[in-house]
Copies of this chain bind each other. A is one copy, B any other.
Amino acid sequence: MKIRVYYEDTDTGGVVYHSNYLNFCERARSDAFFKKDMTPVLQNGHFVARKLEADYVTSAKLGDILDITTELTQMKAASFILCQTIYRDNKKIFSLSITLAYITFEGKPQKIDVDTNDLILSLFDV
């Protein structure tokens, strides 16, 4: 997935505001659904960020074109972990490890059912 950096993504420091890299990664996660003509809004629950670790290597600037890769690194009973990396000109500028937990619409953690498990496996590269 390619993302262009616009004014809204930057701050007065002249570079992309630190939390917006997380937004870019979220777009890539949603795009995995959109590419299959699906929506990230599921029937039996939804996934929320439970934990994340981010490494900032270099800053992106207005006009930059960024590439994002997303890899499924672990599938658990009630969550899964993705490793997402942002590149500019093939150089890594940011990486994220994010744990997404499956919860009910009331916000309770729940086990990932078989269909949802298969869906996740089909959406992301291992």
Q: Which residues of A contact B (CB under 8 A)?
A: 4, 6-8, 10-15, 17-20, 22-23, 26-27, 30-31, 34, 39-41, 46, 48-56, 58-59, 61-63, 107
**Identity of the chain B residue whose Cβ is nearest the Cβ of A22 in the assembled complex:** B19
A108 to chain B, nearest CB (A): 11
Question: Shortest distance in angstroms between A44's beta carbon and chain B's nearest beta carbon?
Answer: 15
- What is the CA–CA distance of A22 and B20 in the complex, to the nearest angstrom? 10
Q: Tell whether, in the assembled complex, residue A8 and residue B4 are in contact, meaning their CB atoms are under 8 Å apart.
A: no
B34 x A8 contact (CB < 8 A): no
Rounded to whole angstroms, the CA-CA distance of A56 and B100 in the bound complex is 10
Complex interface: chain B residues within 8 A of A30 (CB): 6-7, 62-63
